[in-house]
């Protein structure tokens, strides 16, 4: 499938957030050939030795075309728990509601629930997710069958998964197909024994791989870790074990010290912030401004639909900047342009998708189109600010992943009727009652 998108306002995110008027994107298969001005497209096509036949020409009608958002931390299969376990403290929420219900899930349940999440990702302009949940094999199947780009990371802890399974999934899922990949991961320091942590560090060194985990989400988590490890924070304790020789990514990173940040910089550890989930569970507000000042790579995630409860990157972007301003008591903190970079570019780098971070020649065609003719996008004063401060899921006109349009003007193209997915997820809930 070769696609030409023209008459677009173009935000390439290739080094800046300048908007190109009357832009074009030329796509061959799953790869971008050209992204820039219409005049530049004409010149580019003159240099092509073999003419490209366009299967589809899309008139963007002055709407905004940009790289898709990366939901850099989520638990897709938890859609079955949406609004089923709310208004509780994190530890009680996990032990009394989440873990017992998850014990009733089958791998096929997770496959179905993950497909429901994909539908919501597409309506939110999400073109890639970083997934941590049970049954990675079936999650990979759901993502492949739906056309969603997915990086999975292990969620090993004292109760599920193992070093042997991590190795197996690392070998298998990194070879499965072009949309799926796998990273080593643990659920968190507080759910994982020292023995398993040390084994994970050894495996990371053997595979020369980064490690992904929930880290420093709550004050309680940090304090209890200090009690276990002679005053060390989770970041310090894991660093002493040699966990981050090849880097990694922290999900949440709400309660961190200056020394924690030094460790992050030393090992090139990224942080994925999850503001809505942290608000709902009263975990706190991450120090985003300080991360930015320290040059730490930042991405944005929704967390799972049981703790959020929606998978809406527009809401997350607004909360990143809004909460950051309140935390710093500074309305100039965390500029909207930086937040948009986190959502589209930083998240891609945090989860290892450096070929999906911009509209540029050779990059993957993971593209979204946002409606600039909607009332909330008018007048046109500053498009980037509009996307972050007033944009919403209703503005998403088109979501393309790997060169394939999966969502367009309210219609899904994932190979299955959404109503069937809704019905099948509801059947999971009814069975558990």
Q: What is the pLDDT of residues 380-433, one digit of tens each?
A: 999 999 999 999 999 999 999 999 999 999 999 999 999 999 999 999 989 887
204 in a structural domain? yes
How does the average pLDDT of the chain come out, rounded?
96
pLDDT for the residue numbered 113: 96
* Average pLDDT of span 309-337: 97
Q: For residue range 143-167, list pLDDT tens digits in order.
A: 999 999 999 999 999 999 999 999 9
420 in a structural domain? no
pLDDT for the residue numbered 51: 85
| pLDDT class of 96 with cuts at 50, 70, 90 | confident
Task: Tally the domains of the chain.
Answer: 2
Helices (runs of H) and strands (runs of E) counted in the chain: 17, 17
For residue 335, give the CATH number of its domain: 3.20.20.140
418 in a structural domain? no
Do 53 and 118 share a structural domain? no
Does residue 99 register a pLDDT over 90? no
C-alpha span between 155 and 214 (Å, rounded):
9
Does residue 326 register a pLDDT over 80? yes
Do 345 and 277 share a structural domain? yes
Is there a cis peptide before residue 309, judged by omega within 30 degrees of 0? yes
pLDDT for the residue numbered 228: 98
Structure tokens at 407: 């969502």
How many CB atoms neighbour CB 408 within 10 A? 16
Does residue 30 register a pLDDT over 90? yes
417 in a structural domain? no
Nearest to 319 by CA among 349, 342, 290: 342
404 in a structural domain? yes
β partners of residue 269: 248
Q: For residue range 178-197, list pLDDT tens digits in order.
A: 999 999 999 999 999 999 99
Asked whether the whole model's pTM tops 0.85, one would answer: yes
266 three-state secondary structure: helix
Q: Is 97 exposed, middle or buried (0-12, 13-18, 19+ CB in 10 A)?
A: middle
H or E element that contains 298 = strand 298-300
Collect all residues with Cβ–Cβ distance below 8 Å to 183 and sequence separation of at least 6: 151, 152, 153, 154, 170, 209, 210, 211, 212, 351, 352
| pLDDT class of 238 with cuts at 50, 70, 90 | very high
For tokens 């949440």, what's the residue?
252
Do 389 and 330 share a structural domain? no
Does residue 306 register a pLDDT over 90? no
Residues of the domain holding 20: 2-67+356-412
Q: Are 237 and 263 in contact (CB under 8 A)?
A: no
Report the greatest alpha carbon distance in the chain.
67
Does residue 61 register a pLDDT over 90? yes
DSSP H helical ranges for 75-128: 90-92, 99-102, 107-123
345 in a structural domain? yes
| pLDDT class of 86 with cuts at 50, 70, 90 | confident
What is 33-75 written as a DSSP string? EEEEEHHHHHHHHHH-SSPPPPSEEEE-TT-EEEEPEEEEEE-
pLDDT for the residue numbered 84: 83
* Average pLDDT of span 281-308: 96
Do 143 and 33 share a structural domain? no
Query: Phi-psi bin for 192: left (phi > 0), alpha (psi -120 to 50), beta?
Result: beta
Q: Are 184 and 148 in contact (CB under 8 A)?
A: no
Q: Is 372 exposed, middle or buried (0-12, 13-18, 19+ CB in 10 A)?
A: buried
* Average pLDDT of span 79-95: 84
pLDDT for the residue numbered 118: 98
pLDDT for the residue numbered 195: 98
């Amino acid at each position: 499938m070769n696609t030409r998108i023209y008459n677009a306002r173009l935000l390439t995110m290739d080094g800046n957030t300048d908007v190109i008027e009357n832009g074009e994107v030329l796509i061959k298969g799953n790869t971008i050939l050209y992204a820039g001005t219409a005049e530049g497209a004409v010149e580019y096509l003159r240099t092509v030795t073999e003419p490209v036949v366009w299967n589809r020409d899309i008139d963007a009608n002055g709407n905004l075309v940009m790289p898709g958002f990366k939901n850099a931390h989520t638990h897709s299969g938890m859609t079955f728990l949406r609004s089923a376990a709310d208004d509780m403290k994190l530890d009680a929420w996990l032990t009394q509601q989440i873990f017992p219900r998850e014990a009733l899930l089958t791998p096929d349940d997770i496959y179905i629930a993950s497909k429901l999440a994909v539908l919501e990702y597409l309506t939110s302009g999400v073109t890639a997710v970083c997934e941590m949940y049970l049954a990675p094999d079936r999650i990979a199947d759901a993502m492949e069958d739906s056309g969603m780009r997915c990086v999975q990371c292990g969620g090993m802890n004292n109760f599920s998964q193992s070093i042997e399974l991590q190795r197996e999934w690392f070998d298998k899922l990194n070879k499965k197909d072009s949309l799926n990949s796998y990273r080593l991961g643990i659920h968190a320091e507080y759910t994982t024994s020292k023995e398993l942590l040390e084994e994970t560090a050894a495996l990371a060194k053997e595979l020369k791989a980064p490690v992904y985990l929930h880290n420093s989400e709550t004050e309680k988590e940090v304090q209890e870790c200090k009690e276990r490890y002679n005053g060390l924070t989770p970041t310090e304790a894991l660093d002493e074990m040699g966990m981050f020789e090849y880097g990694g990514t922290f999900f949440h990173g709400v309660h961190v010290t200056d020394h924690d940040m030094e460790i992050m910089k030393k090992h090139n550890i990224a942080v994925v912030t999850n503001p809505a989930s942290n608000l709902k569970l009263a975990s706190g507000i991450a120090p985003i401004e300080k991360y930015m000042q320290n040059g730490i790579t930042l991405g944005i995630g929704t967390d799972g639909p049981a703790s959020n409860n929606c998978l809406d990157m527009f809401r997350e972007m607004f909360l990143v900047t809004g909460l950051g301003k309140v935390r710093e008591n500074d309305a100039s903190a965390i500029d909207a342009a930086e937040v948009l970079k986190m959502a589209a570019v930083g998240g891609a780098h945090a989860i290892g998708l450096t070929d999906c971070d911009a509209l540029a020649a050779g990059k993957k065609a993971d593209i979204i189109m946002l409606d600039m003719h909607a009332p909330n996008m008018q007048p046109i004063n500053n498009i980037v600010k509009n996307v972050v401060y007033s944009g919403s899921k209703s503005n998403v006109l088109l979501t393309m992943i790997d060169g394939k349009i999966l969502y367009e003007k309210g219609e899904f193209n994932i190979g299955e009727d959404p109503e069937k997915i809704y019905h099948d997820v509801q059947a999971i809930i009814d069975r558990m009652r």
